[in-house]
Amino acid sequence: MGTPTSSSSSWNIGFALLVLSLLYQAVHGGERCNFYKGNWISDESYPLYNTSSCPFIEKQFDCQNNGRPDKQYLKYRWQPTACNLPRFDGGDMLSRLSGKSIMFVGDSLSLNQWQSLNCMLHTGAPQANYTLRRTGELSTFTFPEYDVKVLFYRHAFLVDIISRSGMGRVLKLDSIEGAKVWSGSDVLIFNSWHWWTHTGRKQPWDYIEEGSKTYKDMDRLVAFEKGLNTWAQWVDSNVDPTKTKVFFQGVSPDHSNSSIWGEANGNRCEGETEPVGGPTYPGGADPAEAVVEKVIGKMRKAVHLLNITTLSQLRKDGHPSFYHGHGHAVMDCSHWCLAGVPDTWNQLLYAALLYN
Ligand SMILES: *[C@@H]1O[C@H](CO)[C@@H](O)[C@H](O)[C@H]1NC(C)=O
Ligand SMILES: *[C@@H]1O[C@H](CO)[C@@H](O)[C@H](O)[C@H]1NC(C)=O
Ligand SMILES: *[C@@H]1O[C@H](CO)[C@@H](O)[C@H](O)[C@H]1NC(C)=O
Ligand SMILES: *[C@@H]1O[C@H](CO)[C@@H](O)[C@H](O)[C@H]1NC(C)=O
């Protein structure tokens, strides 16, 4: 006891532990690890929940109940290359969010992620009461005992669409009145892109307006960038980062061209039962991603990009295809089955909230 030899060896052990813990931090610390680079591996402990214990799930996402015959797509876990994602703990997330509200703003891909999070939280606290209320475009899910609100505001362009007599529906690239609904939330997760691409009957506007100029149409990537800049200016001038954390849900890919993953005779996402292997999608980046990165890169306030594009591109097997519960006429290769890929988006959101 207390001999020079033993104290130096305990010092050595202490030093070794310090080095190990620094290494652990370097590898596992949220800042230093890129959670978005990795690949899908099969894991029998998945999915994180069964939709039969998620009674409020919307039919369109409940692929198993809609007759999807295969199950392997439920059993994949996202594995980052350089570290591990923390295992999702719904009870812990609810405790951390106590007294707070978290809102998804955007199109039906926000709805997809919002539904997934509600199922994940409910699974983590199955005894806790919950309420679900819809008022117009706003859906509010609450856990009263935890004093947590999880909201979804359907606002596909982030900027406004108004109707004006003599013109019809006008998409106003520099107007963002919808912010009245979302300001005051503690966590905001925005998403927009898919509706900017719609033409013909699916296009929900007749004119685009910017300042005093009106256009019948515009390059859609250019319009998207202008709209996103309006959103970025709103965040920069209105968000207090000590109160509100802002996320942007990256572009969610669809799988409408099976030649990209080497099935020249494939029919979009039909019959796909496995992800693309490895970390790289042969289709390359989505041009809308570059717009998102450019706009966020110029902002003064920190916005965390949930960089879900690549990992979702790899999941050609993750869509409802014909199992969306609304007949066989339409194939859905844009939304995602639940349980499924949006659960991983929420695991990444959870990790970002833990480490930032
Ligand atoms: C998003 O992740 C992909 C895959 O790791 C990467 O190629 C891309 O550069 C990332 N984008 C940003 C803005 O970090
Ligand atoms: C979900 O639970 C039901 C009822 O317990 C069960 O029949 C079904 O196989 C489960 N589904 C999955 C994907 O585990
Ligand atoms: C759930 O709500 C019911 C009715 O309001 C109440 O009686 C019960 O105590 C609540 N459950 C919990 C766990 O607080
Ligand atoms: C589908 O992908 C292939 C391979 O990348 C490409 O050559 C082809 O032009 C694409 N088809 C459409 C309709 O985009």
**Which among 124, 134, 203, 214 is positioned nearest to 166, based on CA atoms?**
214
Residue with CA nearest ligand 4 atom 11? 257
Is the pLDDT at 5 greater than 80? The verdict is: no
Does the beta carbon of 164 sit less than 6 angstroms from any atom of ligand 2?
no
Q: Is residue 2 part of a domain?
A: no
Dihedral sign for Cα 26, 27, 28, 34, please. positive
Omega within 30 of 0 (cis) for the link into 253? no
Ligand approaching nearest to the C-alpha of 259: 4
Query: Strand 304-306 and strand 245-249: pairing?
Result: parallel
Residue with CA nearest ligand 1 atom 11? 307
Q: Where are the beta strands (DSSP E) in the chain?
A: 38-42, 76-80, 101-106, 131-135, 138-143, 148-154, 160-164, 168-172, 187-190, 207-210, 213-215, 245-249, 304-306
Cα(295)–Cα(308) distance, integer angstroms: 17
Cα(65)–Cα(119) distance, integer angstroms: 15
- Residue 206 CB burial class (10 angstroms; 0-12, 13-18, ≥19): middle
Is the pLDDT at 28 greater than 70? The verdict is: no
Q: Is residue 290 part of a domain?
A: yes
Q: Is residue 1 part of a domain?
A: no
Q: What is the pLDDT of residue 328?
A: 86
Length of the chain: 356
Q: What is the pLDDT of residue 355?
A: 86
User: What are the tens digits of pLDDT across the range 75-98?
Assistant: 999 999 999 999 999 999 999 999
Q: What is the pLDDT of residue 6?
A: 44
SS3 (DSSP) at 324? coil
- Residue indicated by tokens 């007294």: 99
Is the pLDDT at 226 greater than 60? The verdict is: yes
332 noted as active-site residue? yes
Per the structure, the count of domains in the chain is 1
Least confident of 26-30, 114-118, 228-232, 322-326: 26-30
SS3 (DSSP) at 340? coil
Is the pLDDT at 11 greater than 70? The verdict is: no
When pLDDT is averaged across residues 265-280 and rounded to a whole number, the result is: 95
230-251 as b/e, with b when 16 or more CB fall inside 10 Å? bbbebbeeebeeeebbbbbbbb
- Residue 46 CB burial class (10 angstroms; 0-12, 13-18, ≥19): middle
Is the pLDDT at 30 greater than 80? The verdict is: no
CB 285 within 8 A of CB 347: no
Q: Is residue 294 part of a domain?
A: yes
Catalytic hit among 160, 324, 335, 343? 335
Element (H, E) at 313: helix 309-313
Q: What is the pLDDT of residue 17?
A: 54
Is the pLDDT at 270 greater than 70? The verdict is: yes
Tokens representing residue 157 in the block? 């362009």
Distance set, CA 256 to CA 7, 206, 210 (Å): 66, 27, 32
CB 149 within 8 A of CB 115: no
Q: What is the pLDDT of residue 13?
A: 58
245 CA from centroid of ligand 2 (Å): 36
Cα(75)–Cα(42) distance, integer angstroms: 6
Q: What is the pLDDT of residue 14?
A: 56
Amino acid at 323: Y
Instruction: Say what angle helices 341-355 and 108-124 make with each other, to 10 degrees.
Output: 70
Find the domain containing 48 and state its range.
7-355
Ligand 3 atom nearest to CA at 127: 13
Tokens representing residue 266 in the block? 């494939």
Confidence of residue 2 (pLDDT cuts 50, 70, 90): very low
Least confident of 3-7, 66-70, 75-79, 121-125: 3-7
Q: Is residue 248 part of a domain?
A: yes
220 CA from centroid of ligand 4 (Å): 20
Higher pLDDT, 207 or 327: 207
Residue with CA nearest ligand 4 atom 5? 260
When pLDDT is averaged across residues 309-320 and rounded to a whole number, the result is: 98
When pLDDT is averaged across residues 125-151 and rounded to a whole number, the result is: 97
Is the pLDDT at 242 greater than 60? The verdict is: yes
Amino acid at 189: I
Is the pLDDT at 22 greater than 90? The verdict is: no
Does the beta carbon of 313 sit less than 6 angstroms from any atom of ligand 1?
no
Is the pLDDT at 45 greater than 50? The verdict is: yes
